[in-house]
Amino acid sequence: MRICYLNHDLKDNTGAGRFFLSLYESLIHRQPDMESTVLTSEASGHKLDNPIIKSGKFGLLFSIPKIRNVLKKYDIIHALDGWPYGFIAVLASVGLNKKIIITAIGSGAVQPLYNPFLKPLIKWAYRRADKVVAISRNTKKEIQKFLPNLEIEVINHGVNYEKFQNESADIPQNIKNLKPYILSVGVLKERKGYEYSIKAFLKIAQKYPNLNYVIFGWDYTASNAAYSRLKKIVSDLNLSDRVIFAAYDQQKGFGRKSVSNEELIGLYKNAELFLLLPQDVNKDIEGFGLVFLEAASCGLPVVSSLGTSAEDAVSDGRNGILVNSKNTDEAGEAISRILSDKELRAKFSDESIKFAKEMSWDKAAESYQKVYNQIVSE
């Protein structure tokens, strides 16, 4: 089987890169003779990387002939997200009689449907694809608001549970000095809901005077606007000594945007619980939330939001508590309930590990393998 993937990048420190690399590792383990390449927008140096997709409207159009020449060599074209990769896959393969899969991941799957110019293009791509897969029920629901008759299969992300069982995983002494702490991991984007998680922490800060809140995330904006905004919120709430932005804080955190796997595992394993309250912000949605499964792999109870992709990544009442979106009172109460009830906390911790084992990349790869075999045989 020959498969050409289209993805943003193959970097192991980005969501797009980690998704593909984890899925591919499990796929190639199940089918060693699979031939693959990945057309990307950003070079990574990975052996599968073919960075020929140019950005911008004109760059994209000029890329199409080169992309089309590559697609001719493969049986299946698998685009990882609707825009631009699903659209590119469909446009570049017109007349080639190729089987096309679009995996709808997050904002790139949904936001174009609200754009007057992009809406007809992305709808055309979804309809032309042989198979559309969504990584969460929430992503599926958002797409079907515009395409109610479109058949969409849900295949959740997985997690490499074994990777998080490194007992030697550690974190720097300066982070250890901040224990006990609750933890958030993720890019500093509005959809992550940090404004609300910080305010939820405020609700319990007085009850737990020794507790800190560690946020490990980075700001992709040129001026660090998101980081500056969140720092101001923290300062205005008089929480500067207790809310630590670990990617930026030289003294109390790492002071850098990239950490090793061992350091990340150490961050998770030394936390009291995992907190992330994703929001739907102008249809910039959280597609799934791999960090929830990473936290679960380390036995952390989780507090997150109802009505979001967290409903697939967290088992409400089993390994964590889901609260109404933007309700900081509910979030604060959930945090306090877990911290104050040792039996509940132990139960959530045990169930997190079981849940993470169930949500394996091998399970996801098996589902994709079935999709590949199904569309090739049609």
Query: Class assignment of domain 161-358?
Result: alpha beta
Total Cβ atoms within 10 A of residue 301: 29
User: Which pLDDT score is estimated for 123?
Assistant: 98
- Percent of all residues in the chain with a pLDDT value above 90, rounded to a whole number: 74
Residue 169, pLDDT > 70, answer no
User: Which pLDDT score is estimated for 183?
Assistant: 97
Total Cβ atoms within 10 A of residue 252: 18
User: Which pLDDT score is estimated for 48?
Assistant: 95
168 pLDDT tier (thresholds 50, 70, 90): low
Q: What are the residue ranges spanned by the domains of the chain?
A: 2-158+360-377, 161-358
User: Measured between alpha carbons, how far is 219 from 229 in angstroms, rounded to an integer?
Assistant: 11
Residue 167, pLDDT > 70, answer no
DSSP calls for 25-70: HHHHHH-TT-EEEEEESS----TTEE-----SHHHHHHHHHHHHHH
Q: In DSSP terms, which residues pair with 39 in a beta bridge?
A: 6, 50
Say whether pTM exceeds 0.85: yes
- What does the mean pLDDT of the chain come to? 92
* Least confident piece of the model among 138-147, 170-179, 235-244: 170-179
Total Cβ atoms within 10 A of residue 343: 7
**Better-scored residue on pLDDT, 187 or 352:** 352
Residue 354, pLDDT > 90, answer yes
Q: Cβ(142)–Cβ(159) under 8 Å? A: no
- pLDDT tens-digit profile of 3-55? 999 999 998 877 788 899 999 999 999 999 999 999 999 999 999 999 999 88
Residue 57, pLDDT > 80, answer no
Query: Class assignment of domain 2-158+360-377?
Result: alpha beta
Q: In DSSP terms, which residues pair with 3 in a beta bridge?
A: 36, 76
Cα 177 from chain centroid (whole Å) = 29
What is the average pLDDT across 236-255? 91
Q: Is 275 left (phi over 0), alpha (psi -120 to 50) or beta?
A: beta
> How many degrees, rounded to 5, is the angle at CA 230 between CA 225 and CA 233?
130
Residue 56, pLDDT > 90, answer no
Q: 236: which 2 tokens?
A: 């205005």
User: Which pLDDT score is estimated for 156?
Assistant: 94
At residue 200, φ and ψ (nearest 5 deg) are: -65, -40
**Element at 50 (helix H, strand E):** strand 49-50
Residue 221, pLDDT > 80, answer no
What is the average pLDDT across 270-286? 86
* Least confident piece of the model among 81-85, 186-190, 314-318: 186-190
What is the average pLDDT across 312-317? 93
**Better-scored residue on pLDDT, 368 or 58:** 368
User: Which pLDDT score is estimated for 95?
Assistant: 94
Residue 200, pLDDT > 80, answer yes
Residue 171, pLDDT > 80, answer no
Do 2-158+360-377 and 161-358 agree at the fold level? Answer: yes
Q: 66: which 2 tokens?
A: 């080169």
